[in-house]
Amino acid sequence: MPTSRVMRTGLIGILAFLLSEMIGPQAYAAGGGGEYAPVLGFGYKFFNGDTGKSITGSPGYVLHFRAEKRRGWLRTFADAEFEYSSGTASVGADAPGFSLFGGGFLGGANVFIFTTGRFQAFFGGAGVLAWHMIKLSPAPSGVEANTQSLSLGYEVRAGVDMRLGGADGNAIRLESGYSAVTSSLGGQSGFQLKGFTFVLGLVY
């Protein structure tokens, strides 16, 4: 079996396991009583990538719903994320306008440097399994105007929780990260959806 297929199968299996373990009724228990805390975040994404197979230079927006382990220094999480972007794509030698829609799942963990106090800094990473659709206008010659594909990759991040109550209370989360995701869009294999993300969130 080709190495790329082995890696893809392994990533899908890991993400499926994390989702099955973490998403359940206990994840959204109110009042800090559940094992997993709900996290809602909205952010801005700035895409980069190689000329000819990316949407480099374009802005985007992300919305995510996360279930994250509430306590401890290692906090696993599962994340449902949606994103939208529009601007000018780089497809082969052409630069058509585009609209991009995507949705997917992330599974990973955050490492909390401080687990007590008002300010709790962390860093972490996740695997990404998503589905993206891009609409090109006008489409380059020989390329379909609308294409969609499975997307795979990873994300690294760092941030801080500013607790509004006790160590397990609600928090405002400031987070930044970098994602490296590839897909097959616009007639290009290995189409890049890389970018930096800045997120403002609430931890319940």
Q: Over the stretch 95-111, which tens digit does the pLDDT of each residue have?
A: 999 999 999 999 999 99
Q: Are 98 and 132 in contact (CB under 8 A)?
A: no
Q: Give the residue with greater pLDDT, 202 vs 6.
A: 202
**pLDDT per residue over 149-182, tens digit each?**
999 999 999 999 999 876 667 999 999 999 999 9
Please check the confidence at residue 13 and state whether its pLDDT lies above 80.
no
Please check the confidence at residue 188 and state whether its pLDDT lies above 90.
yes
Please check the confidence at residue 22 and state whether its pLDDT lies above 60.
no
Inter-CA distances, 168 with 128, 131, 143, 147, 186, Å: 27, 34, 51, 44, 45
**176, amino acid identity:** S
Single out the residue of 64, 72, 141, 62 nearest to residue 111, CA to CA: 72
Please check the confidence at residue 9 and state whether its pLDDT lies above 90.
no
- The parent domain of residue 19 ranges over 3-203
Per-residue 3-state assignment (H helix, E strand, C coil) for the chain: CCHHHHHHHHHHHHHHHHHHHHCCHHHHCHHHCCCEEEEEEEEEEEEECCCCEECCCCEEEEEEEEEEECCCCEEEEEEEEEEEEEEECEECCECCEEEEEEEEEEEEEEEECCCCCCEEEEEEEEEEEEEEEEEEECCCCCCCCEEEEEEEEEEEEEEEEEECCCCCCCEEEEEEEEEEEEEEECCEEEEECEEEEEEEEEEC
pLDDT value of position 199: 98
CA distance 85 to 181: 15
Q: How far is CA 158 from the centre of its chain?
A: 13
CATH code (residue 41): 2.40.160.20
Please check the confidence at residue 3 and state whether its pLDDT lies above 50.
no
**pLDDT per residue over 33-52, tens digit each?**
588 999 999 999 999 999 99
CA distance 142 to 112: 49
Averaged pLDDT of the chain: 88
Tally of structural domains, the chain: 1
